[in-house]
Structure formats: structure tokens, C-alpha cells
Chain A
Amino acid sequence: MTAEKSNLVTGNTGDWEIVLGLEVHAQVTSNSKLFSGAATTFGSEPNSQVSLVDSAMPGMLPVINEECVRQAVRTGLGLNAAINRFSVFDRKNYFYADLPQGYQISQFKQPIVGEGVITVDLPGGRSKSIGIERLHLEQDAGKSIHDQSPTKSFIDLNRSGVALMEIVSRPDMRSAEEAAAYVKKLRSILRYLGTCDGNMQEGSMRADVNVSVRKPGDELGTRCEIKNMNSIRFMQQAIEYEARRQIEIIEDGGTIDQETRLFDANKGETRSMRSKEEAHDYRYFPDPDLLPLIFSEEFVEAEKAKLPELPDAKKARFIADFGLSPYDAAILVEEQETAAFYEKVADGRDPKLAANWMITELFGNLNKAGKDLSDSPVDEEKLGGLIDLITDNTISGRIAKDVFAEMFESGKDAPTIVEEKGLRQVTDTGAIEELIDSVMASQAEKVAEYRSGKDKLFGFFVGQVMKQSQGKANPAMVNELLKKKLAG
């Protein structure tokens, strides 16, 4: 792969290329935990969703949750990946206060899902393929709280044993922007599949980012891993800081130590987490409590048949059937709910007009108001009703924006607002001619200038007439009639 110029970072000794690989931990959507029957609900009372398996009482044995297996297979299929019908669970050994077993049950040599690929959407409607190396199932650890007491750490095991999918990418990303696009696309696919809610604030999705730098065309450099990013924005900041740090060290004649680093969002920098280094000797071995996980080809095929239309297929369909640009289509398919909303608005209407109104006006207003589509005061029918009024020339596009603002504010539908405020477009030739006559009478000087060859004044007259009509005159008719009248 040749380096794309726009992605290169300039240092004192020339251009550098950033190489990024991501490990995303995605919490599996399930009622109960991976190996125990305790609940997985977020935000419950501490230690209220813990079984004796999760708290690692002696003699307790893990039994796998079939739904977690199904969800991992569905996710693998959604990532266009190889499904391994034979996989093995291993113990990953380390000591930490929120890991009562002293090991995490994970999959090391034989994961449930192998290589795959996803297409990410980049600015300007471009796209890029990012390789997936593997996906494996593993247990989450508990939660440690360090800031509630000066001498103690508090441990909540509610999360202990919850199923996670660790999704490992190839080092195929070359900028913070591409890494962000990858996380967004992965999140979108997982949410379509219903295998993970993708909620980064609640920690249902978090990313470890491997960052290295090299001169374009060189071998891969030594990488550092930035742990536990739970916001796309912070992840981008962390990558940019870390790449700059590594370039400076190398250009000053130093070398990069392979290490784990943490991002400090307050300071906007990464720092070393040396204490964990020795713990990297995880001494994996197959978990003697668990037999290999085996399932049939029929099971995989049945899951494949049940998959929903995924974002890429939907995007391609929106481009082909509705004539949308790749950029607009990518925005509309990111969330399933948005795509469904759009399809309802576009049904029986001009699909491009529907896309423009959703993306520019609706999303713009929702963003400003800090609202989601789910609590939008303007629903599919109301937005469709507004578009109908534009299409049948009841109101102009300009007036429609005011009507939309009013709809968003009051929740009323478009015809009601148009009637109440008397915004119906003036399409009566006589009425428009009257307006034109009055403008021409009050601007006799400008009329003379226009007639003596100052064509550019035409726009001025259009503006004046529209102003006189309070924006209600049909612009096409104003243009046409004005031209005739001015010509004398």
C-alpha cells in the first residue's frame, strides 16, 4: 500500500506515516453473563448482579451462554469474516483486585471468528477497506473505584463475567480520522446487528489503539498501545499526540519503547503505564473447565439467513434507487432508525429533496437543540407533509425553512402553520404583476439603469419584489414576469 500524501505528518526530517491498529472491546447484548446466570443490566446496585461463579468462589463451574455464541457468530458474519466452527477457551492469567478468578477466560489460539474486512466511510464520500484479524469471546472484569476513599479502592463485580467481543483490526489505518471512521463503522454494524449497543459512555464499547510511525515505505515501527479509549474524539486527540511524541523522539535520535500508555483527557497527552509491564506475561493455557466450542454449518447458515440489511448494502441501495450521493447515503444509513425515518419520508416523494431536508434542516436543528431523532418534534409524516407543500408549489423553499423552524418549535404540522400564518405562495399572475409595478414605480432610476444595459440589477429587482411579497411570491413566476416588464 502506498502512502497517501494527505495523511502524512511533517517532521523536521521530512514526512512520516502513522500506522494504526485497533482492538475494540464490545459488550455482547445478552440478558445474562457469558458463563453465569447473573444479569447484565447497566447501573445496578453494586455487587447485586454477581453470582458465585462471577465472584470466583471455589468449586464453581462456568457454563456458556448460547446467545453470546450466536451474537459472536452474527457479528463475524456482519464483518464478512471466517467463522470457526471449532474454537477453544483459554485462561489469561494476571492479578488485579477486580479480577477475582486471577485469570480472564478468553480465546487465544483458536478464536470463534477469523479474518474479515469492513469498508469505512471517509470525508468527501471516499471509502477504504480495513482488515479484521479476528474476533474472540472473553469475560469482562469488575470495576475498580479509586477516588472514593484515601486508603481503599472499592470493587464492584457487576460487570465481572459479562461477555465481550474483542475485535482486532489489521494495522490498516493511517490517520486519526481513519481510526475514527473505523470505530464509527464498526459501531454502526454492531448496532444494526443488535449484538452490541455501542454505547461508549457506558463503556459497552472501548478501544485500545496501537500507534507507530515510520518513513513512508519503511518497515513497521515499534508500537505503543493506548488503552481504554471510550470516546472517539479523545481517541483522535490521543493518536495525534502520540504520533507527534514518537516522531519527536526518533528525530532526536531516540528509540520507541514498546509499552502501554494511558490518555489523560485533561492534559491532552499520553503517559506511560509502566506498572503493568510485567503483567504482560499472561501464561495462556486452555481452560480445563471448558470443552471446545463446536457448532454446525447449518447453525451458521441459519444465522446468516436472519441477518438484517447492513449499512453498506443499504447505502448502495440508497445510491442506486434514490440517486443519493455517497456522502448523503453514508450519513443516512449510519443508524438503522435514521435510515428507516428517511425511507418513510422519501416514500412517494422526491428522494433527493427528502435527503436534503433531513440532513440540512432536521439534523441541523436536532444538533442545535441537543436532541435525537427519537425525540424529534418533527416526525416522518410531518416532514413529508412539508415536502409535499414545496412540491405542489403551495410554498417556496425559502418559506419552507421558516415553516420548518416553526414546526420544530411548536410540533404543529406544515399545512396548519401555512394556513395560520397565511404563508401560501402567491401564484396569481395579476397579484405578482402588481407587486412588480409598485417596485418599478418606486425604483424608476434603477429601472432606467437596467434598461441602459446594467443587467446585474436584475437580482436586485427580484429581491425587492420578494421582499414586498414577504417571501410568498413564487420565485420562478417573479423571474419570468419581471423579465418581461423590465424589457418594457
Chain B
Amino acid sequence: MSLDKATVAKIAHLARIKTDDAQLDAMVADLNTILGFVEQLSEVNTDNVEPLASVTGHGLPLRADVVTDGAYPERVLANAPDRAHGYYAVPKVVE
């Protein structure tokens, strides 16, 4: 598998990473090297092997349905660049 420049540009856009044309060429090379490295895994025969989402074999630990957190809007908003009336205020996004 190898990525072309247009695909890398699209991925960058989806991740909201601003890239100029010169950077893109270097990224294509880097990403293809990484993919080539990971691709070594495909040398292993995985026929009849179930996909594995976790290597520990454990299931998800569960917590009780109790309110134990929240009620600190000041802490939540502490890092907000802008706020108004208890809300985060962000540049207008309109559909």
C-alpha cells in the first residue's frame, strides 16, 4: 500500500493539519515509509484467526451508575480562550 500526494493532502485536511505543497512531498515519503514498516505484519498468515481488539483477553471494567463528577463549570471553562454566560464562545459555526 502506498499513498499519493492527493490522499495525503486529504488526510491532512480531515485532521485539520495545514500543509503547504513543499511539506506534502516530505509527508508522502514519511508516511509511505511508516506504512511499509507496518506492512511487514501482512507477512504473517492470519487465515482463520479472529480479529483482536485487545491483547489482554480481559473485558471492560464497569463502574456503578452514580454521579461522582462534574458541578465545576469554572474548572471546565478555565482554559477556554473565550466564554460568555457560562458557555464556551467559539467562532460562529453555522450550517
A positions within 8 Å CB-CB of B: 30-32, 36-39, 45-55, 63-69, 88, 93, 95-97, 110, 144-146, 148-157, 262, 273, 275-276, 278, 281, 283, 286, 290-295
Instruction: Report if A290-B60 is in contact (Cβ < 8 Å); known contacts: A38-B70, A149-B84, A152-B82.
Output: yes
Interface string of B52-85 (1 = CB under 8 A from A): 0110101111111111111101011100001011
21 contacts between A and B (CB under 8 A): A31-B65, A32-B65, A37-B68, A37-B70, A38-B69, A47-B73, A47-B88, A49-B70, A50-B73, A52-B75, A64-B62, A148-B85, A151-B91, A151-B92, A154-B84, A154-B89, A155-B87, A273-B95, A281-B10, A292-B53, A294-B59
A144 touches B86 (CB 8 A): no
- Which residue of chain B has the shortest Cβ distance to A45 in the bound complex? B86
Write the chain B residue with the least CB distance to A156.
Answer: B87
Q: List residues of chain B with CB under 8 Å of any chain A CB.
A: 10, 13-14, 16, 53-54, 56, 58-71, 73, 75-77, 82, 84-95
Residues of A near B77 (CB, < 8 A) are 47
CA distance A154 to B94 in the complex (A): 11
Whole-angstrom distance from the CB of A469 to the nearest CB of chain B? Answer: 64
B68 touches A50 (CB 8 A): no
A148 to B90, CA, bound (A): 12
CB-CB nearest in chain B for A271: B95
Given contacts A37-B63, A46-B87, A291-B58, contact A51 B69 (CB under 8 A): yes
Assess A46 versus B86: contact at CB under 8 Å? Given A64-B63, A281-B14: yes
CA distance A48 to B67 in the complex (A): 13
Residue numbers in A under 8 Å from B65 (CB-CB): 30-32, 65-68
Contact B61 A63 (CB under 8 A): yes
| Known contacts A47-B86, A50-B73, A154-B84, then 18 further A-B pairs from the complex at CB < 8 Å, ordered by chain A residue | A30-B65, A37-B66, A38-B69, A39-B70, A46-B73, A48-B70, A50-B76, A52-B69, A52-B75, A64-B60, A97-B88, A152-B82, A152-B89, A154-B85, A156-B87, A157-B88, A273-B95, A294-B59
Q: Which of B62, B67, B90, B93 is in CB contact (< 8 Å) with A38?
A: B67
Residue contact B59 to A152, C-beta cutoff 8 Å: no
CB distance from A40 to the nearest CB of B (A): 8
Interface centre among B10, B14, B94 (most CB of A within 10 A): B14
Instruction: Return the contact of A153 from the options B56, B58, B90 (Cβ within 8 A).
Output: B90
Q: How many angstroms between the C-alpha atoms of A148 and B89 in the bound complex?
A: 10
Are B73 and A45 neighbours in the complex by a CB distance under 8 Å?
yes
Prevailing SS type, chain A contact patch = loop
Pairs A-B, 10 closest by C-beta atoms:
A38-B70, A294-B59, A37-B68, A67-B65, A154-B87, A37-B69, A66-B62, A51-B69, A155-B88, A46-B86
Q: List, in ascending order, chain A residues with CB within 8 A of B87's CB.
A: 46-47, 145, 154-156
Would you call A51 and B63 a contact (CB within 8 A)?
no
Q: Are B70 and A50 within 8 A (Cβ)? A: yes
Question: Which residue of the partner chain A has the closest CB to B13?
Answer: A278
Which interface residue of B76, B85, B94 has the most chain A CB atoms within 10 A? B76
A96: chain B residues within 8 A (beta carbon): 93
Q: Which of B56, B60, B61, B84 has the largest count of A CB atoms less than 10 A from its CB?
A: B60
Expressed in whole angstroms, the minimum distance between the Cβ of A263 and any Cβ of chain B is 12
Most chain A CB neighbours (cut-off 10 Å) among B66, B67, B90, B93: B67
**Chain A residues with Cβ under 8 A from B60's Cβ?**
64, 290-294
Distance to closest chain B CB from A196 (angstroms): 15
State whether A63 and B63 are in contact (beta carbons under 8 Å apart), knowing that A144-B93, A152-B91 are contacts in the complex. Answer: yes
Q: Are A152 and B62 in contact (CB under 8 A)?
A: no
Question: In the complex the two chains form, what is the Cα distance from A126 to B70 in whole Å?
Answer: 48
Q: Which residue in chain A gives the minimum CB-CB distance to B84?
A: A154
Shortest Cβ distance from residue A459 to the other chain B in the assembled complex, whole angstroms: 64
